[in-house]
Structure 1
Amino acid sequence: MLFHVHIDVQVPHGIDQDMLKQLSEREHERAKELQLQGKWTHLWRVAGKFSNISIFDVADPAELHEVLNSLPLYPFMHVEVTALCRHPGSLELNK
């Protein structure tokens, strides 16, 4: 199943900057793993924000939930999820 996911990271004021740096490094590693597994198929930064728009390709909503919960910055995320399906007018054939 394909999911459009909008993630806004809302880091609390006063967070320890070294801890935030470590979490961010772990976040990048986890995102890389998920991309190499084919689960996180697209990742775009929203210009000027600590935010991204992503496409995940996972088995079902439960797997998406597990994937999102595995992200080190998840406790600081506001997440909006939209399930996607192929549009009949899409030129992407046989996908």
Structure 2
Amino acid sequence: MLFHVTMDVKIPRDLPAEERADILAREKAYSQDLQRRGKWRHIWRIAGQYANVSIFDVQDNAELHDILSGLPLFPFMAITVTPLLRHPSAIRDDDS
């Protein structure tokens, strides 16, 4: 199943620098592993915001929930999830 996910990140300004650096390093490693495994198919930064738009390819809602709640930045995110379905006019067979 494909999901469109928007993540808006709000890290507290008073978070200690070392803790912030650790969380960001773990977030990068976690997200890149998911990308390598094909679970996190696309990620785009939203210009002018600390936010992204992503496409996830997972088995079901539960797997997506587990992935998102495992993000080190999860406690600092507002997340919007939209399930996607292949459009009948799509011409590419590999986009499902």
TM-score normalized by structure 2? 0.94
Report the counterpart of residue 59 of structure 2 in structure 1: 59
The number of residue pairs the alignment matches comes to 95
Unaligned residue ranges in structure 2 (runs of 5+):
none
Matched, 1:19 2:16: no
Q: Deviations over 1:43-67 (max 9, x none)?
A: 0011111100000000000000000
Amino acid at match of 1:32: Q
Distance 2:6 2:21 in 1: 22
Q: Secondary structure in 1 aligned to 2:47?
A: coil
CA drift of 1:26 comes to: 0.5
Hey, what does 2:68 align to over in structure 1? Answer: 68
Question: How far is the alpha carbon of 1:13 from its aligned partner?
Answer: 2.8
1:37 alignment counterpart: 37
Q: 3-state DSSP class of the match of 2:93?
A: coil
- Equivalent-residue separation in structure 2 for 1:17 and 1:48 (angstroms): 22
For the residues of structure 2 that align with 1:13 and 1:40, how far apart are their CA atoms?
28
Report percent identity of matched pairs: 46
| 3-state SS of 1:81 partner | strand
Query: SS at 1:11's partner residue?
Result: coil
* In 1, Cα distance between equivalents of 2:63 and 2:30: 15
Take 1:25 and 1:76, find their aligned partners in 2: how far apart are those partners? 15
Give me the whole-angstrom Cα distance separating, in 1, the residues matched to 2:81 and 2:73: 17
